[in-house]
Amino acid sequence: MNPIHQNRKALSATEIVTQLSKLNGEQAQGWRLIDGALEKTYTFKNYHETIGFVNALAFIANAEDHHPDLAVSYSKCTVRFNTHDVDGISVSDFFCASKADALFA
Ligand SMILES: C[C@H](O)[C@H](O)[C@H]1CNC2=NC(N)=NC(=O)C2=N1
């Protein structure tokens, strides 16, 4: 197995609730579990800023080999992470979600 994928064990419902409350801490909020994925919508001032975020997140996602589904409009980007390999949520999803928050900060 590629070592980058070793964190991709499915988390239990209890573990997901715990990790979600850590993710939605003092620094950032807005992550929810929707239809089996971690989801958050970011809002920007304009298209230029939205696409800047998308490009930066895509770069990080590719480096982590963990790619979010993205829905992009003029001033919003909805990000969805899940782990295909385990058909669920793993720590890789939480790790990449926190990286997305760091970009937005
Ligand atoms: C073969 C390839 O490395 C895997 O399919 C990777 C690619 N990107 C991925 N992205 C996400 N979000 N979940 C995965 O399980 C995943 N798996």
The 10s digit of each residue's pLDDT in 29-45 is 999 999 999 999 999 99
Residue-wise pLDDT tens digits, 58-85: 999 999 999 999 999 999 999 999 999 8
Distance 40 CA to ligand 1 centre (A): 19
ipTM of predicted complex:
0.92
Tell me which residue of 31, 18, 14 sits closest to 68, measured CA to CA.
Answer: 31
Q: Is there an atom of ligand 1 within 6 Å of 83 CB? A: yes
| 84 ligand 1 Cβ < 6 A | yes
Tokens coding 87: 């058909």
Q: What ligand 1 atom has the least distance to the C-alpha of 86?
A: 15
Q: Is 68 exposed, middle or buried (0-12, 13-18, 19+ CB in 10 A)?
A: buried
- Over residues 47-61, the pLDDT tens digits come to 999 999 999 999 999
What are the chain's domains? 3-104 (3.30.1360.20)
Tell how far the Cα of 86 is from the centroid of ligand 1, in angstroms.
10
Ligand 1 neighbourhood includes 85 CB (under 6 angstroms): yes
Note the Cα 101 to chain centre separation in Å: 8
Listed residue (29, 47, 46) closest to 101, CA to CA: 29
